[in-house]
Amino acid sequence: MNFISKIINSPSKKNSENFSFVIKKMLGFKPQNINYYNEAFTHSSLKKINDKGYPINYERLEFLGDAILGAVIADYLFKKIPKGDEGHLTQMRSKIVSREHLNELGKDLDLISFVQSNIPNQNFGDNIHGNLFEAIIGAIHQDKGFHFTQKFIYNKVIEPYVDIERLEGKITSYKSVLIEWSQKSKKKIKYHVYEDTGNDSLKHFSVKLFLDNELISKGRATSKKKAEEIASKRAYYKINHIINS
């Protein structure tokens, strides 16, 4: 058990104060109610419950954080891009709060080092990083309120990471690009997905992507969706001279 685990799991006042100090150092402010942050790092595999019999884990805070983050980003884009229509604003918000981007934010804060679980950290997929980041947003909202959370999102997400011009040219789904192009150009795209455990303890999926029955690329990941996206990205860069011609 590492230092953080001992602090979170210990009921003593001293360790609670130590955890509060760690949170302050990581997030830049002192928590008022440390229990929200304990919950934000508790995985459902521990099967913890409170005195009312309700489960204690980060999933509810993750749900709340996802909604709060989306609302703050939507408000920012509404003001920042006055000429943007609904479709464009929705697309831009999706780019900022994409699972890939949230995973990067969670990794930057090293949130996985705080998670309490019966599952070894190395067995988690990449999405654990983004899930924990959303849970932290939910915890901050419960602890400090909306306006404080909004300021935190501006400082930690919008100001350091959001570049409107760069994002407007960013592709968020290579699979969608390929499918749209194939429909317009009357090409046949086919994904062949199969389980590929290999030597890994965690189940993986492999994908073969065919264009007009010709194998173009492959992808492998811990979910079918991610494997398809990896294969799509590789295919896009292989044939983008055709797609963009």
Q: Which residues belong to the active site?
A: 66, 134
Strand partners, 224: none
d(CA 73, CA 77): 6
CA distances from 120 to 41, 112, 134, 140, 202 (A): 14, 11, 21, 26, 11
> Is 115:133 a contact under the CB 8 Å cutoff?
no
- DSSP bridge partners of 220: 206
Which pair of tokens denotes residue 94? 């999706």
CA dist., res. 67 & res. 138, Å (int)? 9
**Which residues does 172 contact at the CB level (< 8 Å), separation at least 6?**
91, 94, 95, 98
**Angstrom distance (rounded) from CA 19 to CA 10:** 10
